[in-house]
Structure 1
Amino acid sequence: MFDLTGKVALITGATGGIPRATATLFRSLGAHLVLTDLDPAAIEAFVASLPAGEPRILTARVDVTRPDQVDEALAMAGREFGGIDILVTGAGLYVEQEVATMTDADWRQTLAVNLDGVFHACRAAMPLLRKGGSIVNIASMAGHRGSVRHAHYAACKAAVLAFTRSLVHELSPRGIRANCVSPGIIATPMTEAIMAQNGTALIAATPMRRFGTPEEVASVIAFLASDAAAFVTGETIHINGGLYMD
């Protein structure tokens, strides 16, 4: 597929469905991994499930809403590897709630994870990213068309799209790229509720008549992270089986 041999990739929210698949694929493509997550037991169990030996894997408990914890994880990557080549912002929070019942705290919590967390990771990574490096931010179809009972989530993802395009102007002079993927309905634990409630209608509305898999998203992330996408920056790739076509 793609060659990531010797590259260093930091992935936030690494035990989530899409980040987990991405880490597994990156590992098979030869990348060293720095995996962060809020649940240290889950991340250690995940690492234990991967083949032993090279490439190296480092882990850290990180709450992406805490800039000090994000900064320390990136600093660790810098100490151990001398820098990084790839950042994938996978940490996310997806809570179903109508705006009318949403409290200020509900709104701020979702923004803190899904938007502030992306900002914290990108800001901390920028000085450590080497020439030829790549940021891949995980957005969502919700950021393009909105989402019923997920307005705060959709607002965050729309902001991530604009933030990523803005990063291009700061990173391009250093030979670093920034792109987004916007998954649709992907079969992960985070989407189990929506699939249970509305899965039949969503499949009927999807031209490919099925949900996507985390591995299908991971393969697109690997493309954007690789030298195969060396002239691709500021772009968003939709992965939704035709459910939304921009």
Structure 2
Amino acid sequence: MISFEGRVLLMSGAAGGIGLATARVFAGAGASLALGDLDERRLAEMTAALNLPADRLLLARHDVTDPESSRDLVRQAQEKFGGIDIVVPNAGFYPTDPFESMSVTSWSRTLAVNLDGVFHLCQAALPALRPDAALVLVASMAAHYGSPAHAHYAAAKGGVLSLAKSLAKELAPGVRVNAVSPGLIDTPMVQPLMQARGPELLNATPLRRLGAPEEVANCIAFLASPLSSYVTGATLHVNGGLYIA
């Protein structure tokens, strides 16, 4: 059983499917949570969903594309909890845009959320990290395979993988940095893709089903825990075997 007693998780994109599942896993293992999201209504609903005492939970509006918003979230977490032990930049944006007609605005916005946002949060968190800290970045199968009509998203997630490897080297030995690459996970973000290519993609997945958000959350928890104490610079594929198909 993984224990995060006395540890503090800082996470962006907390109100999404994987974010909420991750918050629940860490809360259940004893962590205190500093959670940010742009959707304040869904963020407020997490108070009841997590059922944590006030001294273990911080919720804040967070725009990952704004560096000052990340710095503010870190400041709040440090003031409340005294430091940060685990960082999970989880905010994601997955628009569908054929490359031929992709606008500069769409390209820039997608990279701003999926890549720049990871940079902003990780850099802002560095001064607040305590010994034996762990960063777990959230990439995607698209980073490895590419994704038609999602070139901007795939490019951003490819950047996340490279960032994880670079930070693993630069921040060692005090901070471990790893990544997860989810495949087809049962969240609202994947539904348009499933409607367009669902049977094809499931047939190519050896486990023949969608993954649950909790299955990604459990892998994030593993990479953030002492169970993976000699693992850094790695990517854990959470995709039912789609990566080898």
Cα offset, 1:170, TM superposition? 2.2
Superposition pairs of residues 21-170 of structure 1, within 5 angstroms: 21-53=21-53, 56-170=56-170
TM-score by length of 1: 0.97
Contact 1:27–1:55 (CA under 8 A) maintained in structure 2? no
1:88-123, Cα deviation, whole Å (9 max, x unpaired):
011010001111111111100000000000000010
Contact 1:30–1:55 (CA under 8 A) maintained in structure 2? no
- Alpha-carbon distance in 1 for matches of 2:31, 2:54: 9
Secondary structure of 1:5's counterpart equals coil
Superposition pairs of residues 187-226 of structure 1, within 5 angstroms: 187-226=186-225
Cα offset, 1:169, TM superposition? 2.1
Contact 1:8–1:34 (CA under 8 A) maintained in structure 2? yes
Secondary structure of 2:172's counterpart equals helix
1:43-65, Cα deviation, whole Å (9 max, x unpaired):
01122222242761001101000
Contact 2:169–2:233 (CA under 8 A) maintained in structure 1? no
Contact 1:181–1:236 (CA under 8 A) maintained in structure 2? yes
- Alpha-carbon distance in 2 for matches of 1:202, 1:68: 39
Contact 1:35–1:58 (CA under 8 A) maintained in structure 2? yes
Percent of aligned positions that are identical: 50
Could you tell me which residue of structure 2 aligns to residue 186 of structure 1?
185
What root-mean-square deviation, in Å, do the aligned CA atoms of Structure 1 and Structure 2 show?
1.2
The letter for the 1-side match of 2:219 is V
Runs of 4 or more, structure 1, over 4 Å off, are none
Contact 1:115–1:156 (CA under 8 A) maintained in structure 2? yes
The letter for the 2-side match of 1:28 is G
- Alpha-carbon distance in 2 for matches of 1:72, 1:14: 16
Cα gap change, 1:235 to 1:208, in 2 (>3 Å): same
1:176-231, Cα deviation, whole Å (9 max, x unpaired):
10000000111100001111221111111111111111000000000001111111
The letter for the 1-side match of 2:198 is G
Aligned length, in residue pairs = 245
Cα gap change, 1:85 to 1:142, in 2 (>3 Å): same
- Alpha-carbon distance in 2 for matches of 1:242, 1:79: 42
Gaps of 5+ in 1: none
- Alpha-carbon distance in 2 for matches of 1:23, 1:50: 8
